Chain A
């Protein structure tokens, strides 16, 4: 039966409606040697969409370091793969699902998680952990956010969190970490970035490369419906307008149960040895999977759409090719052994149908009931798409004077009230209310779940014997505010913080994945932010030894012409050689010494009481104006991110890894959002100790030290390359020796105490003094109070 849509005559105007420019249309005509039909136009439009083709980012992404001796598979496959020893590899990648999550928060988030999980098990790796990096508009009303907007943001957060939880929990992968941040710029455009990690045997990694002329092409998984058509091209590759809400039908719907079956069936099918190649159907569904498999394999492919399992009747070739129905896979089997593969899927109750075969000659031919619906050379389509050198222009420099900067409180001011306010701010407050909605312990590998260590840590069980030796640590980080103020330095901080978090768990950072969330690439200043970010990432990843193994670029994060902050989110993976040596943030014993490690400190005087080179008053105010404290207490977001010294970061990270390997310290916690005071308090909060008579209680901290900078700068400043560790007095000499060996300054600040009090004395006056319980209440419960308020 001929379908109506195949008869639509394609014109440049129809092409424009598909987001295809005049030049791109001419290129399509050139590749085909004729006008495309509507199905072909649809195929080109999704393959050449920003989301799938990286046409604006490609020229910049080339500058990222992608090689390393542990890198088994760099960018370009479904996920990056690194060697983790003993014949095992880790596959990991982060991806965005921003626009769908705004249009339909629950389904947007579920399908974001589902998509990244498929990317991992498509490689033959069993997913063992998920992290989610979420950004929302402000959830409390303020000068910058109305109550109506705050309420809307709370609803979006609730939907996204339920979505993330619902998918991971049902699928059976622990959601072990991530981050949640709030800025007004994400109000109309939340960021939902999901990272998944999987494990496989090195020789059992699968690639998406069609091979073997005549080999059957098999469609497996969920049936194809009309959902998600143009998700990639229209939803992800265009900015938001008032009409975007009408794109709800473009959002896909997730079914984690189906995905769980697909996981088990795919891994089992791969074990038969009859699978040659496999590719998930994510963005641009059947189009992307057929074209990319053929293109990568240097072959052609021929499929018959009439054989594709369909959920609805009367679907046109256009709709079938562009559907983004979830939980589907395309695989190539060895000819003559397809029955082995089909049997596995039958066992799991899944559709599996031979829909075509691999052909010679590089042409992708899509048939429908004996008629050719599309005929396109796969390689030019997949690899010779448009590449843009978009114009770049730095924005006009911001004129700022000291009036715009944070003014420090006079010496001796008691800062306890401000500290309580900071602890209760959504950015700093405990995310327990959110993370408890995620299954964090399924698969029994979680050595450090949310909040226990600076990074999420999962142990690796040998897939055969179950024996445990190593563990993997993961952290995702980004700071949109800093990137807005200085994209290059902000991007470096994102890498540095993720790597520092990994090191603070005791693991050695080995590789990175990135999710680059930006505004419209058609704006020169956005492309400037992007280019600066890439340079910052490249430099930081090089110095810190974490090559980029993959990731994703998300442009067009803007609504009604207003861009989000440039927000690179970096995931860093690390290896912990001995799974029993995870460092956690919790103080452990009364009487332990609290030390500040500083990779940028003066090591020649690296002893108790060393003084620091203090930045000039102006520098310090300018930097401090970009801190969480400045934003929360004074409502000031200005200045510059803290100066970053990557070699200092590297020294600190190496030192932390060495301290963990020698079990020299009891706890480690890096200094980041909220500064030193927050770091100390969190180490107290985490230290719930079971008392024999008294039930449980937290340890406290008593800290006293001097410096030259104002108290607020010292307690709440967010300069990097620093961490707080605690050590038993008998290990002090050892810790100092290791610190010196790595050229890291170590300075004794005080002691862990038993009475639940928290006290910081600075230059002779008590600047913070409170019970741990008062502080904990502000920190632990404020998010829940905000989010469950009626």
Chain B
């Protein structure tokens, strides 16, 4: 089992994702430089948060043309597990590996705070260790997290159960009140139809230790580990 964390110029949560996997989960992990087309036999790829290419033009718009993204796309198409966090989510949308697009937060400001998200689906490699309906407390830190898509896509997302995380209040009673950025249908994270590619705006890698006050993000990485273990068993 090996995780790969892609480093784009301007990625700044790459170290955090690396630390969460390598130090907290104690699983093998390595950095993958954006100009490399070699994914170094990693079985799960993480596109970390940050400001790849300075967010110039549009968040994620330039990063999707990085050489590494050709390989990530191939990897994803062949069923490989890819998780995009924050800027990584934006890149996956730009690359067409996930549906939808990001707009500027409805309040037009950068927001950094803890939000609550509900796990909507558990039959994905990113949520299989969670309970359906489980509420996770995880920080967000972004200017452009206002997820949007057209009505048809939205209907598809619902039909295929692709919305895997939704913003909500701490007790899960009022999703609209828990939505920090205006995202349509309070969507915080989605997966593709095949369920092997997912993206979310909150930062699970910042919520993996009680020392920092929050460990709810662990369940996402544990799910990925379990999925990889399961896949290894299936092959063996």
Chain A residues within 8 Å of B, Cβ to Cβ: 162, 165-166, 169-172, 255-258, 260-261, 348-349, 435-444, 446-447, 459, 461, 466, 468, 579-580, 690, 695-696
Contacts and interface: CB of A to CB of B under 8 A. Distances in A.
A261 B212 contact: no
B126 interface: no
B29 to A, nearest CB: 11
Nearest to B141: A439
A441 B203 CA distance: 10
5 contacts: A169-B143, A257-B54, A437-B109, A437-B110, A442-B12
A437 B112 contact: yes
Interface stretch (B15-23, B95-103, B117-125): B15-23
A172 B211 contact: no
B54 A444 contact: no
Interface of B: 9-10, 12-13, 15-16, 19-20, 22-23, 49-51, 53-56, 109-113, 139, 141, 143, 170-171, 203, 205-206, 208-209, 211-212
A348 B110 contact: no
Contacts of B55: 170, 257
A475 to B, nearest CB: 20
Contacts of A696: 170
Nearest to B18: A466
Given A348-B9, A438-B110, A696-B170, 10 more contacts: A169-B110, A171-B12, A257-B51, A257-B55, A435-B112, A441-B139, A444-B19, A444-B209, A468-B211, A579-B211
B141 A441 contact: yes
Given A261-B9, A446-B212, A468-B211, A439 B15 contact: no
A442 B141 contact: yes
Contacts of A442: 12-13, 16, 49, 141, 206
Contacts of B15: 443
B182 to A, nearest CB: 16
Interface of B is mostly: mixed
Interface of A is mostly: mixed
Contact of A438 (B9, B22, B112, B171): B112
Contact of A172 (B12, B19, B113): B12
Contact of B205 (A435, A436, A444): A444
A170 B51 contact: yes
A437 B23 CA distance: 29
Contacts of A466: 19, 22-23
B50 A166 contact: no
A256 B170 contact: no
Residue among B53, B110, B111 with most chain A CB within 10 A: B110
Given A166-B110, A442-B12, A446-B212, A260 B51 contact: yes
A349 B22 CA distance: 28
A349 B171 CA distance: 47
Contacts of A255: 54
Residue among A260, A446, A580 with most chain B CB within 10 A: A260
Nearest to B9: A261
A711 to B, nearest CB: 37
Contacts of A444: 16, 19-20, 205-206, 208-209, 212
A690 B12 contact: no
B19 A165 contact: no
